[in-house]
């Protein structure tokens, strides 16, 4: 039987998906790797400049005094390092151009033998500007014991730096420049732990300091903290600093910089933490501690007129901190959770405007007070067994239901079209998504620090791609509700293989639908476990297993019902199911990109938030979701007119 022009046109149109499917698959496989590689190279250059700038700022004083050279070898080294900094900042883009101007100022200051304070000020400005561009580093969860760290120092460092770190080791007399004296207070006050870590990791060019590549990351950080604390002493009365500080800032900046830029943290407290850093590693991973620390840093950046940095820190306060305990707080006080979430969003907008100082202080005070209330709810005692079970169940149902529906719809479509041989593509997609999701989480925990904003961007893009593909599949499904069209399609494909591009398109859709959920689900469970005692883990596991059972029952019921439907009714029902899923995913995509500050937030005049449908009270989200409905409605209108003719 010859095919009608319409059927031929449709089949030709559907084949256009083939190159798109290949493109999406290639992008999903290589885009992340390419970006990470290029970013790592760029950040490596930045780290080298940061290390060189700090080294110059610390050692310049030993080369020049009162405008005169007091150590020619040191001075030549200062000239060489300043020249390197100029070369490394001479990249042709606007931001590096401004850094290059500072680098040239530094080179001029050194060549004209200016005062050490001037040189130190320029190097500090260079470091601060570069650190603002850097992503947060993967930091150690804990340090080695004092005994183990001292043993490392004795075996690897003492021969040059001396057993007490005074630069008087048995090999020191033959070295030029001389090994660092870690007990020198002036040097220690101007040396960051990041600079020490980089010196241990990469060595120092034109010196006897080698790169200790054989050491593990935890060993290097332990050594950096150890030698960075040798010049300081901790008071016996010192038990806890009055102001919390993020481990990231503590590592990035010198004690002198921290004492001038951190409100509420005294010089004695800084010295105490340098001498005995164990308090820095208590509750650093607590989501609420991260939220409060990032908000405090955002407030400081705002006062320094660094508005973009302040906004970025506010985004991190929500995504890297508060979002991870939302499920647990919901189990205790849902209204408090919604109020904090709303205030954190408002803070972003306020921090972007230089004219809202009073509003910022008021909103910050309210938010911090609410965070303290939340902390009291979650830490007065561990969550109840019932709350842990419920939170665990809700996490899995909320994150897993949409992915299940998409995969189930694809499976049933293939079975109803007698294409069981293509099921392996669906299974390949979702299995790869499980692996990729857990792999991404593992990389984020160990090798590369994936921020909350990056996570939301990944989820938002994946959700948007899935929404568009689901809309396409839904329209295709609707085109087959007509018996004549369905018979024509069957006759063409029932005994032939689908095009490889179409099959890989199915695999890609299955991948995106599942991957966007897996990474976030693992993070939520990781946060939930930290709020439970070891005796309560069974309730977290129980909630998860019960969620798996509920999803399994839903899958079985939907599959059995859909298989029994007449073919036209099946396609019609599945069409609207996919339309609803596309609508939901588009709303969640916009929401994720808004949380990552990629898309703006314009509040809707009335509160129409419906979380389970992905509807939020913003113009951007509602417009995107309405676009899905309008496109489908236009297709339906044209389809009915064509059938009427």
- 545 and 466 belong to one structural domain: yes
pLDDT at residue 245, rounded to an integer: 73
Q: Is residue 32 part of a domain?
A: no
Asked which of 256-265, 316-325, 568-577 is least confident by mean pLDDT, the reply is: 568-577
Per the model's pLDDT, the better-predicted residue between 333 and 466 turns out to be 333
Distance, in Å, from the CA atom of 564 to the CA atom of 561, rounded to the nearest integer, reads 5
- The helix (run of H) or strand (run of E) holding residue 582 is helix 567-595
Report CA 433 to chain centroid distance, whole Å. Answer: 18
Q: End-to-end CA distance of the chain: give it in Å, rounded.
A: 22
Domain boundary among 527, 556, 579: 579
- The C-alpha angle with vertex 144 and arms to 140 and 149, in degrees rounded to 5, equals 125
Closest CA relative to residue 310, chosen from 257, 256, 364 = 364
Structure tokens at 623: 């417009």
pLDDT at residue 584, rounded to an integer: 80
Q: How many domains does the chain have?
A: 3
For residue 323, the 8-state DSSP code is: G
- 126 and 259 belong to one structural domain: no
Helix (H, G, I), strand (E, B) or coil at 97: helix
The mean pLDDT value for 399-407 works out to 75
- 358 and 394 belong to one structural domain: no
Q: Are 533 and 51 in contact (CB under 8 A)?
A: no
Helix (H, G, I), strand (E, B) or coil at 69: strand
**pLDDT band, very low/low/confident/very high, at 153 (cuts 50, 70, 90):** very high
pLDDT at residue 225, rounded to an integer: 92
**Helix 452-479 with 500-530: angle, nearest 10 deg:** 140
259-283 per-position pLDDT tens digit: 887 766 788 888 888 888 877 776 5
Domain boundary among 349, 379, 409: 379
Domain boundary among 106, 133, 160: 133
The whole domain housing 274 covers: 146-379
- 185 and 124 belong to one structural domain: no
- 304 and 165 belong to one structural domain: yes
Q: Is residue 6 part of a domain?
A: no
Handedness of CA 228, 234, 239, 244 (dihedral sign): negative
- 79 and 197 belong to one structural domain: no
Q: Is residue 602 part of a domain?
A: no
- The reported pTM is 0.49
- 336 and 222 belong to one structural domain: yes
pLDDT at residue 349 is higher than 70: yes
- 195 and 280 belong to one structural domain: yes
435-450 per-position pLDDT tens digit: 877 776 666 555 445 5
- 452 and 360 belong to one structural domain: no
Q: Is residue 488 part of a domain?
A: yes
pLDDT at residue 112, rounded to an integer: 92
- 342 and 386 belong to one structural domain: no
Beta bridge partners of 615: 610
- 444 and 558 belong to one structural domain: yes
> For the chain, what percent of residues have pLDDT higher than 70?
74
Domain of 92, CATH number, reads 1.20.120
Structure tokens at 471: 């809309």
- 126 and 185 belong to one structural domain: no
Helix (H, G, I), strand (E, B) or coil at 99: helix
């Amino acid at each position: 039987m010859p095919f009608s022009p319409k059927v031929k046109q449709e089949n030709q149109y559907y084949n256009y998906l083939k190159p798109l499917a290949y493109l999406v698959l290639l992008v999903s496989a290589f885009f992340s790797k390419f970006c990470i590689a290029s970013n790592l190279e760029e950040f490596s250059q930045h780290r080298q400049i940061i290390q060189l700038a700090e080294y110059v700022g610390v050692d310049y004083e030993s080369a020049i005094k009162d405008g005169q050279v007091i150590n020619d070898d040191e001075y030549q080294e200062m000239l060489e390092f300043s020249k390197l900094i100029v070369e490394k900042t001479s990249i042709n883009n606007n931001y590096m151009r401004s850094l290059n101007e500072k680098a040239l100022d530094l080179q001029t200051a050194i060549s004209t033998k200016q005062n050490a304070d001037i040189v130190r000020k320029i190097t500090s400005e260079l470091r601060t500007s570069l650190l603002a561009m850097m992503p947060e580093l993967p930091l150690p969860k804990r340090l080695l014991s004092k005994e183990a760290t001292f043993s490392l120092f004795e075996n690897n460092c003492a021969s040059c730096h001396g057993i007490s770190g005074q630069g008087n080791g048995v090999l020191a007399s033959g070295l030029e420049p001389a090994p660092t004296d870690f007990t020198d207070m002036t040097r220690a006050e101007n040396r960051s732990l990041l600079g020490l870590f980089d010196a241990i990791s990469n060595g120092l060019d034109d010196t006897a300091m080698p790169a200790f590549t054989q050491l593990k990351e935890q060993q290097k950080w332990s050594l950096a903290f150890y030698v960075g604390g040798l010049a300081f002493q901790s008071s016996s009365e010192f038990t806890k600093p009055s102001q919390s500080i993020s481990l990231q800032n503590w590592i990035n900046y010198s004690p002198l910089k921290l004492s001038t830029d951190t409100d509420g943290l005294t010089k004695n407290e800084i010295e105490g933490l340098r001498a005995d850093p164990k308090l820095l590693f208590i509750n650093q991973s607590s989501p609420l501690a991260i939220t409060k620390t990032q908000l405090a840093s955002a407030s400081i950046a705002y006062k320094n007129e660094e508005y973009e940095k302040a906004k970025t820190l506010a985004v991190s306060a929500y995504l890297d901190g508060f979002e991870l305990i939302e499920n647990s707080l919901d189990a205790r006080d849902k209204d408090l959770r919604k109020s904090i979430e709303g205030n954190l969003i408002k803070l972003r907008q306020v921090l972007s405007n230089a004219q809202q100082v009073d509003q910022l202080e008021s909103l910050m005070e309210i938010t911090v007070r609410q965070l303290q209330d939340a902390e009291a709810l979650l830490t007065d005692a561990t969550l109840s067994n019932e709350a842990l079970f419920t939170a665990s169940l809700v996490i899995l149902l909320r994150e897993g239901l949409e992915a299940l529906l998409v995969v189930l719809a694809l499976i049933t479509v293939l079975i109803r079209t007698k294409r069981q041989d293509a099921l392996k593509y669906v299974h390949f997609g979702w299995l790869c998504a499980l692996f990729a999701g857990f792999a991404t989480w593992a990389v984020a925990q160990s090798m590369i620090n994936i921020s909350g904003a990056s996570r939301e961007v990944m989820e938002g893009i994946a959700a948007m791609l899935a929404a568009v593909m689901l809309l396409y599949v839904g329209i295709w499904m609707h085109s087959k509700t007509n018996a004549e069209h369905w018979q024509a399609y069957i006759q063409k494909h029932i005994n032939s293989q689908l095009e490889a591009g179409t099959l890989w398109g199915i695999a890609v859709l299955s991948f995106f639908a599942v991957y966007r959920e897996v990474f976030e689900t693992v993070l939520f469970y990781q946060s939930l476990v930290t709020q439970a005692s070891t005796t309560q883990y069974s309730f977290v596991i129980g909630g998860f297993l019960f969620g798996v059972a509920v999803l399994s029952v839903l899958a079985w019921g939907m599959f059995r019902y859909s298989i029994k439907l007449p073919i036209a009714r099946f396609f019609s029902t599945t069409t609207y199911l996919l339309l609803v899923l596309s609508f939901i995913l588009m709303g969640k995509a916009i929401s994720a990109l808004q949380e990552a500050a990629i898309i703006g937030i314009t509040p809707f005049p009335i509160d129409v938030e419906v979380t389970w449908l992905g509807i939020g009270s913003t113009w951007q989200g509602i417009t995107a979701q309405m676009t899905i409905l309008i496109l489908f409605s236009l297709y339906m209108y044209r389809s009915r007119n064509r059938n009427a003719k």
